[in-house]
Chains A and B, each alone.
Chain A
Amino acid sequence: GESVGLHLPTLSVQEGDNSIINCAYSNSASDYFIWYKQESGKGPQFIIDIRSNMDKRQGQRVTVLLNKTVKHLSLQIAATQPGDSAVYFCAENVRGGGTSYGKLTFGQGTILTVHP
């Protein structure tokens, strides 16, 4: 999963497998979380979000799980396809720092490679 540091975590899967990408977030007061997908040389694309009053949220082929007890977020991709190959970032909305609305703080990212 993601953590502070210089080495980007990687995950390699076979086409059709399910993928699970993990993220450890830093602030217990964070109340909103997002997963983004970024392809090489492009801007991040929104995948799914979840608020802290939920434990699970499902989208099309994706599920986000939130465990507030251990400050852990995961993204599950069902039936992974070669087009899912990208860097995946989690982001948390951290309140405080003099603002009432907080701002997104991004993790380092996980490289997902899907082999045909």
Chain B
Amino acid sequence: DGGITQSPKYLFRKEGQNVTLSCEQNLNHDAMYWYRQDPGQGLRLIYYSQIVNDFQKGDIAEGYSVSREKKESFPLTVTSAQKNPTAFYLCASSIAAGDYEQYFGPGTRLTVT
């Protein structure tokens, strides 16, 4: 059963702690993406990776970090430097970067108090 998995679905953290969100895909896609979604708003790009061992900042990268050591995995770390980390985080992948359909995971809802 191919697809993108994100875990956990809900995550709670105390302010000041770093937290890592998991994203795994078995679609053999080269490109992967992290988006943030706030209530009543569209998706904003945090980081993206065109290929393994490569990643680029998106529109709102401050306070976040990523790694792409394996093709299947693109974890996102929300650091204590992120001023407003509570949000719904979505991971996506596509066969290649650019004008291709992106497949989304189920999302992780992060709450920081």
Contact = CB atoms under 8 A, between A and B. Distances in A.
Given A101-B97, A103-B97, A43 B90 contact: yes
Contacts of A11: none
B42 A31 contact: no
Contacts of A42: 106-107
A42 B109 CA distance: 10
Contact-residue bracket for chain B? 20 to 34
**Which label, helix, strand, loop or mixed, suits the secondary structure of the A interface?**
strand
Interface residues of A, number: 28
Contacts of A70: none
Interface in B16-55: 35, 40-45, 48, 50
**Interface-central residue, B4, B45, B92, B101, by most chain A CB under 10 Å:** B101
Return the 3 tightest CB-CB contacts between A and B, nearest first.
A101-B98, A32-B99, A43-B104
Interface of B: 4, 6, 35, 40-45, 48, 50, 56, 58, 90, 92, 96-99, 101-107, 109
